[in-house]
Amino acid sequence: MSALPGSPELPTAAFTARIQAFRERIEGVLDRALELPDAGTSRLREAMRYSVLGAGKRLRPTLVYLTGESLGAALTVLDVPAAAVELIHVYSLVHDDLPAMDDDDLRRGRPTCHRAFDEGTAILVGDALQALGFAVLSSEPMAGTAAAARLEMLRVLAGAIGTRGMAGGQAVDLAAVGNRLSVSAVEDMHRRKTGALIECSVLLGALAAGVSGAAELGALRRFGAEIGLAFQIQDDILDVEGDPALLGKSIGADAAHAKPTYPSTAGLAASRLRAAELRDAAIASLAPFGERGAALAQLAGLMVSRVS
Amino acid sequence: MSALPGSPELPTAAFTARIQAFRERIEGVLDRALELPDAGTSRLREAMRYSVLGAGKRLRPTLVYLTGESLGAALTVLDVPAAAVELIHVYSLVHDDLPAMDDDDLRRGRPTCHRAFDEGTAILVGDALQALGFAVLSSEPMAGTAAAARLEMLRVLAGAIGTRGMAGGQAVDLAAVGNRLSVSAVEDMHRRKTGALIECSVLLGALAAGVSGAAELGALRRFGAEIGLAFQIQDDILDVEGDPALLGKSIGADAAHAKPTYPSTAGLAASRLRAAELRDAAIASLAPFGERGAALAQLAGLMVSRVS
C-alpha cells in the first residue's frame, strides 16, 4: 500500500517506517503460526504457507497493531489478533479465487492456490486457515489479557466473518454477477464482504488494549466501518484506473467478471467523492481519542489515497 | 443410529428414549441458530438450512448432551456446544461432498448441497457454518458458565477441527485415494478426520458441566478418542456389509472411491475385533466416573453394534 509522491495525504516518513515494521513483524508471526508439523499432509502444509506467506499488504494486521499500540497494548499481545485476522483474510481469498467462485488464476502476482496445487487442496487450505485463525485467537499466549476480553474478541471475529459479515457479503457478490445493483446494495455488499473484517481488526486491537467502554468501542466501530467501505471503493476505483505496474496486477477484472462495483454503479467521480467523504467521517469518529487517534487518521488517509 | 433387535448390546428402552429426546431437542436448537434473517442472500440461508436440518444421526450433539447431563450440566447450557459441534460437522460434510473432494451426489438420502444448489453456494455454506459454529459457542447465552471455561471450549473446538484434527484428516484422506495405507496410517486418518470432533464433543459436554481436573478430562479425552475411532471403523464395516435399507444409502462407496478403509486394509474380521477392543477400552476409561459413566458406556456399545 503506497501513495503517489506529492499526493496531499502523503504519509510522513516516520509513519511509513512504522507500518513497514508492522508488516515485517506479522510475516514472522504468521511464519511461526504456520510451522504446523502436524498438518496432515505436507501438501496441505505447503499450500497453507504458499497462500499466506510472502505477499500481501497486511492491512488488517496493520490496523490491529496501529489501533492497539495507539491505545496502549504491547506488540507481543497484538501479534495474536493480528495473525488471526490475516489467516481469516487469506482463507477468504483462497476460496474466492476458486473456479466455482471468481475463478481467478493469479493472486498477488502468483498462481492462485488451486492453480499452484489443486482445487481440493485449496478448499482444505481455506477451511484449515479459518480454523487456525480461531485456534490462534483462542490459544496463543496473550499476557495480561483476561479470559472475558479474549472471549469478546472471538465473538467479534466470529460475527464479522459469518452470514452477517464476510460470508454473507460473498454470497451477495456471487449472486450479483451480471446484475445491476443500487448504490446502497453495492455499499451493503462491500460493508459485509470487506468492511466487516476491517472493522473487526480495529476492534480487536482496541480490545487487546483493554478498551471496554461502549462509547469508545462504538466510535472505533464507526471508524472501522467507514474506512472499510472507503478502502473497498478505492479498490474498485483502482481496478478501473489504477496503474498495473504499481498494483502488481492487471486492471479491469471486475468488469471482466461482470461484477457490480461502486464506479460501475455510481460513476468514477461519485466514487472518489464517496471514498473521501467516508474517510473524513472515519477520521471524525476518532475525535474522542485526541492524539491517540492521530496514527489511525493517517492510515485512513493512506487507505483512500493509495495507488496500490 | 439403531441396533438390530436381539443384539447383545441392545440399548434399554429408557436409554433409547433419552437419546431420541436429545435428537428432537437439537433439531429445535439448530433451527433457531439458522433463522439468519441477515444471511446475505436467501439462497445462502436456504442452502444452510437444507444442509443442516431434518436429517442426520446427531451423534455429536448426543455426546455433548449425554456427557454433560451425566456430569451435572443443564440441557439449556449444553444446547450451545451441541449446536456448535453439529454445525461444524455439517460444514465438513458439505465440503467433503464437493466435486473436488469426494464428488458425492447424495447425502442422507437427498441431493448433496452442491447438487441441490450449486458449487459456489456449497463452498460458502461450509465456510459460513464453520463461522456460525464459533459464533454460537462464543456468543449464545450459557447461564453460569465462566468466561475461562467457555474460552477453553473454543480452544478445544478450534484444535479439533484444524490441521491436527479434522482438516488434516481430510487432507490425508484426499491424498490416500488409490493408495495402500498401513493399518496405523488408516487409524491416524480416522482419528483425525472423525475421531477428533467426537472426542471434542465429549470434552465440550464435560467442560460445560464444570469439569476442570486434568485427570477427569484426560479420562474423557481417552473415552472420546477410542470410541471415535471405533465409530469410524464400524462405519467402514457398514459400508462393506451393511443393509442399504437400514442405512438409507447404498453401500460400497469407499471401494468405489478407491479409499483405504479399516476393512480394506486389515480385513473385516480384524476390523470387528478392533472396534470391539476400542469400545472396551473406551468404556474402561470411564471407570473414575462410576455410575455417572453408565449412559456413556451404553452409547459406546450402541456406536459399535449399530446397523445404521
- B178-186 long-range CB contacts below 8 Å, 24 or more apart? B178/B258, B179/B260, B180/B260, B180/B265, B181/B260, B181/B265, B182/B265, B183/B262, B183/B265, B183/B266, B185/B260, B186/B260, B186/B261, B186/B262, B186/B265, B186/B266
pLDDT at B249: 78
A243-269 pLDDT, tens digit per residue, is 988 887 788 989 988 999 999 999 999
Among A111-115, B256-260, B269-273, which stretch is predicted with the lowest mean pLDDT?
A: B256-260
With an 8 Å Cβ cutoff, is B128 touching chain A? yes
With an 8 Å Cβ cutoff, is B177 touching chain A? no
B2 is a domain residue: no
B108-117 pLDDT, tens digit per residue, is 889 999 999 9
Q: What confidence category does residue A7 fall into, taking pLDDT thresholds of 50, 70 and 90? A: low
Q: What confidence category does residue A108 fall into, taking pLDDT thresholds of 50, 70 and 90? A: confident
> Mean pLDDT over residues B15-40, rounded?
96
> Mean pLDDT over residues A113-120, rounded?
98
A125 is a domain residue: yes
Residues paired with residue A3 on neighbouring β-strands, in sequence order: A306
- Residues in B closer than 8 angstroms to A40, CB to CB, are 163, 167-172, 192
Tell whether the model's pLDDT for residue B67 goes beyond 70.
Answer: yes
pLDDT at A6: 55
Q: What confidence category does residue B5 fall into, taking pLDDT thresholds of 50, 70 and 90? A: low
> Mean pLDDT over residues A173-178, rounded?
93
> Mean pLDDT over residues A205-215, rounded?
97
Tell whether the model's pLDDT for residue B6 goes beyond 60.
Answer: no
> Mean pLDDT over residues A61-89, rounded?
98
List A residues 22-61 in contact with B (Cβ-Cβ < 8 A): 36, 38-41, 43-45, 48
Per the listing, cell 452442491 goes with B114
Q: What confidence category does residue A301 fall into, taking pLDDT thresholds of 50, 70 and 90? A: very high
Tell whether the model's pLDDT for residue A177 goes beyond 70.
Answer: yes
What percent of chain A is modeled with pLDDT above 70?
97
Tell whether the model's pLDDT for residue B3 goes beyond 80.
Answer: no
- To the nearest whole number, what is the mean pLDDT of chain A? 95
Tell whether the model's pLDDT for residue B273 goes beyond 70.
Answer: yes
> Mean pLDDT over residues A204-228, rounded?
98
CB contact under 8 A, B171 and A44: yes
CB contact under 8 A, B171 and A119: no
pLDDT at A308: 85
Question: Which among A43, A95, A192 has the least Cβ separation from residue B123?
Answer: A95
A131-153 pLDDT, tens digit per residue, is 999 999 999 999 999 999 999 99
B136-179 pLDDT, tens digit per residue, is 999 999 999 999 999 999 999 999 999 999 999 999 999 999 99
Contact between A251 and A238 under an 8 Å Cβ cutoff? The reply is yes
B261 is a domain residue: yes
Question: Which residue does chain B place closest to A193, by CA atoms?
Answer: B40
pLDDT at A126: 98
A5 is a domain residue: no
Question: Which residue does chain A place closest to B145, by CA atoms?
Answer: A148
- Residues A89 and A195: their CA atoms lie apart, in Å, by 12
CB contact under 8 A, A168 and B135: no
Q: Which one of A45, A127, A139, A140 makes the best mutation probe of the B interface by having the most chain B beta carbons within 10 Å?
A: A127
Radius of gyration in angstroms for the set of CA atoms belonging to chain B, rounded to a whole number: 18
Question: Which residue does chain A place closest to B157, by CA atoms?
Answer: A135
What's the CATH number where B298 sits? 1.10.600.10
pLDDT at A198: 98
- Residues B295 and B277: their CA atoms lie apart, in Å, by 19
Task: Please give the DSSP secondary-structure letter assigned to residue B34.
Answer: T
Tell whether the model's pLDDT for residue A8 goes beyond 60.
Answer: no
Tell whether the model's pLDDT for residue A93 goes beyond 70.
Answer: yes
pLDDT at B286: 98
What percent of chain B is modeled with pLDDT above 70?
97
B80 is a domain residue: yes
- pTM: predicted TM-score of the whole model, two decimal places: 0.97
**What is the count of structural domains for chain A?**
1
B54 is a domain residue: yes
B4 is a domain residue: no
Task: Quote the domain boundaries for residue B234.
Answer: 13-305
pLDDT at B9: 59
B64 is a domain residue: yes
